[in-house]
Structure 1
Amino acid sequence: MTAVLFDMDGVLVDSEDYWVEFEREELLPVAVPDADVDLAEVSGMNFREIYDYLDEEYETAITREEWIDRFEAFAETLYTEHVDSLDGLHDLLAELDDRDVPTALVSSSPHDWIGLVLDRFDLAGAFDEVISADEIEAASKPAPDVFEYAASEVGIPTEECVVVEDSENGIEAAARAGTIVVAYRIDAHGDIDLSPADVVVDDAAELREEVLRLAG
């Protein structure tokens, strides 16, 4: 039996373009004005852990509280007004349900942000498990912890779980967990290392095809 574990940002919703612009243009110039940070370093990480990473590596110019406030304010607007869901998402989830394939939404975002997405796109109850790395004792991606936890929650061995991820850290985390990794290539991340993935897809139709094949 197979389970499918979906990342949220960049996979289920097209939020990464917005996050990249926000972090590159508004947040990082204020938080680490003297550093040239490659966003691939922090993509896929929980936003609180991003602050800790930047503070350790570069020393930050704003407080942790200001960092969190800026993120939370932007997230509220982003998830309620701007993002679109993956094309054909409801049909894909319905097909997996018809095949009795367990599904999970697995995200580094806080549960409140996940809830905004579930409400906006009528996805409440669409996944067997909804897991926020922000709520469990797990190291942030690229550590494999969150996917190992998700696999245990759906009751499927990691090696029989299909993970759909878009970020370099997320892809590495899924690979380190021993899952079957589908890398969803999006423009927001540019030229990142996709080599740990088992399959690379470039659009929603190809993603659906590969997920259904692997879950078959």
Structure 2
Amino acid sequence: MAQLEALLFDVDGTLADTERDGHRPAFNMAFEAAGLDWNWDEALYGELLAVTGGKERIKFYLEKFNTDFEKPADFDEFVKGLHASKTEFYKQLMAEGKIPLRPGVERLINEARSKNVRMAVVTTTTPANVTALLTNTLGADSESWFEVIAAGDIVPAKKPAPDIYFWAMEKMNVKPEECIAFEDSDNGIKSSAAANVKTIITINEYTKDDDFSKADLVLDQMGEPEEGFEVLAGEHHGHDYLDLELVKKVHAGA
């Protein structure tokens, strides 16, 4: 069995409840600023999460839910502008401390860092969103803790395609069997599984009913020593919260 070399972290929904507390409100703020009467409530946003990528999500919304909207001639630029505005509102929410990390995330990242375990971010969100989250939760230099930031449009095919994982692993010069991924959604597990990377899932309200049959461990959260996780599927080896020792056991299939 290959030794664990790298932890590959998804961002939205995995590190923080960014979809609920950040992206959805930021989209609505951008729509209002643009003079649009669109409003994505939680139920609608749950359906829009079937598509990864913010620009793609706007297009999906207009194709499936707001078909009466008359698209401008420069539609792609219109969508880009809306998304750029949304990113600025998202960064504003981050700076205001509105989007905390999920339980156990900071502890696990700090443990991995202290033990010189390599880390990367593997996400479909924009690089600016990654920077905003990391710097406003873990500190100004925290982006440098991650060897690779694989984000946004760096590959044409976003999750559930495995391309972003392959790109990150190529940059790190590691093999799939030397990595473990942390995801929260159906698109995430499809992406990591297709890249042949073992995966630990921490569900959230939007993804609790997704199919995680390909995951190696499914939890409600990473947990803390004083507030353990709930195991939804897989072997937790007697642990109450996700630490590096448990991660290594899951990776080894022990």
The CA distance in 1 between the partners of 2:208 and 2:68, in whole Å, is: 25
The match for 1:5 is 8
Structure 1 counterpart of 2:90, from 68, 75, 81: 75
For 2:46, give the aligned amino acid. L
1:19–1:40 distance in 2 versus 1, CA, 3 Å: farther
The residue matched to 1:124 in structure 2 has which SS?
Answer: helix
RMSD in angstroms over aligned alpha carbons?
3.1
The match for 1:125 is 144
> Residue 211 of structure 1: CA displacement?
2.4
Is the contact made by 1:184 and 1:207 (CA closer than 8 Å) also made in structure 2? no
- TM-score (norm. length: structure 1): 0.80
The match for 1:110 is 126
The CA distance in 2 between the partners of 1:104 and 1:6, in whole Å, is: 6
> Residue 17 of structure 1: CA displacement?
1.8
Q: Which runs of 5+ in 1 are unaligned?
A: none
Counterpart check, 1:49 vs 2:56? yes
The residue matched to 2:249 in structure 1 has which SS?
Answer: helix
Structure 2 counterpart of 1:150, from 168, 182, 186: 168
1:202–1:125 distance in 2 versus 1, CA, 3 Å: same
Percent sequence identity over matched residues? 25
1:69–1:97 distance in 2 versus 1, CA, 3 Å: closer
The residue matched to 1:125 in structure 2 has which SS?
Answer: helix
> Residue 49 of structure 1: CA displacement?
2.2
The CA distance in 1 between the partners of 2:54 and 2:93, in whole Å, is: 15
1:199–1:190 distance in 2 versus 1, CA, 3 Å: closer
- TM-score (norm. length: structure 2): 0.70
1:22–1:192 distance in 2 versus 1, CA, 3 Å: farther
For 1:91, give the aligned amino acid. R
The CA distance in 2 between the partners of 1:213 and 1:44, in whole Å, is: 32
The number of equivalent residue pairs is 212
> Residue 139 of structure 1: CA displacement?
0.6
Structure that is richer in helix per residue: 1
Is the contact made by 1:4 and 1:162 (CA closer than 8 Å) also made in structure 2? yes
For 2:90, give the aligned amino acid. A
Q: How does 1:1-216 map to 2 (within 5 A)?
A: 1-2=3-4, 3-19=6-22, 21-22=24-25, 30=38, 39-40=46-47, 42-43=49-50, 45-57=52-64, 59=67, 61=69, 63-65=78-80, 67-81=82-96, 82-120=98-136, 121-122=138-139, 123-134=142-153, 136-205=154-223, 206-208=241-243, 210-214=246-250
Q: Which runs of 5+ in 2 are unaligned?
A: 72-77, 224-240
Is the contact made by 2:7 and 2:117 (CA closer than 8 Å) also made in structure 1? yes
The CA distance in 2 between the partners of 1:20 and 1:207, in whole Å, is: 26
Segment of structure 1 superposing worse, 95-104 or 146-155: 95-104
> Residue 161 of structure 1: CA displacement?
1.6
The CA distance in 2 between the partners of 1:154 and 1:202, in whole Å, is: 29
